[in-house]
Amino acid sequence: MSGDVKGVFEVPVQKLMCSDVKMGSILTEPRPIHRKEMPLFLSLLNEVIERWYEGIGPMNTDIYATYNFHTELLQQIRESYEIIANDDSPSVFRERERLGTLMESFSDMLQSFAEVFVSPEQLKGFYYKILKRVNMTNNIILEGEYGW
């Protein structure tokens, strides 16, 4: 982690993994997200972002430089999923392309969240499991399964 790291901090592992959040387990389930689950999933992703900044920010204040980008990225992803879910016109293909681009940035974000930590592996794995779930979902959107 770059920037000015001050002192020793205890990493709030359970908080970062949203262990105390109702329905938080939906984040890492090993299957694609059903269309009906997407609003809940996206609101939980917002919680993941907020908790990451709350947990890591005090350790390195430079981290806040990307906060607005990350929260706006999630909002754009939310809007893109809504369009894809509700639009039957040919323009939905352009939106799928846009979602693909957004997901590349989202993937980078989750990888950066995970790579801040050397351990525990459980915490690093949490971010990678979310990413895997999102990627599975994007793949099935193209196939029209799980309500997509």
Which distant-in-sequence residues (6+ apart) come within 8 Å of 78 by Cβ? 42
Residue whose structure tokens are 């329905």: 23
**What does the block give as tokens for 96?**
């799928």
pTM of the complete model = 0.86
* Banded model confidence at residue 90, pLDDT cuts 50, 70, 90: confident
For position 133, what pLDDT does the model report?
95
- H helices present in 17-66, as ranges: 38-56
Distance CA 8, CA 35 (A): 42
**What does the block give as tokens for 12?**
């709030």
pLDDT at position 80 over 60: yes
User: What value does the mean pLDDT take over residues 99-123?
Assistant: 92
Count CA atoms closer than 13 A to 52's CA, side-chain side: 25
For position 2, what pLDDT does the model report?
43
pLDDT at position 4 over 80: no
User: What value does the mean pLDDT take over residues 92-118?
Assistant: 91
Are 7 and 61 within 8 A, CB to CB? no
